[in-house]
Amino acid sequence: MHVQGEAIYGLDAYGPGGDKIDTNRPFKMKTEFVSDKRYSAVWTIKTYFEQDGEEKMMLQSYCPDFLEPMASLFDGAEAWVFSSWDNRSGKGADFETYRTCP
């Protein structure tokens, strides 16, 4: 999604003083997982960013190969935690996944 976000909104859209989302001020972020009704197949992630009561950005990623192994975890028995950070330096992983059990 990083590449998509940069291509659509530009490099300075999100972050401190961002053109779209200024992370120095309160903002909301909502992530949706697109699936069938039984969560047996999950294929898309959509992330919405809102600031000042207005949707400013939406990113979408079609990634069934990544999401399919997690489909059984979407049955309501798991807690999900997400974070976002700037990785323009390219050092380290683009994302990390942690799973905790209740």
Q: pLDDT class for 100, splitting at 50, 70, 90?
A: very low
**pLDDT for the residue numbered 80:** 67
**pLDDT for the residue numbered 91:** 64
Beta bridge partners of 45: 33, 61
Average pLDDT, whole number, for the chain?
A: 78
Q: Are 19 and 12 in contact (CB under 8 A)?
A: yes
Residues in the chain: 102
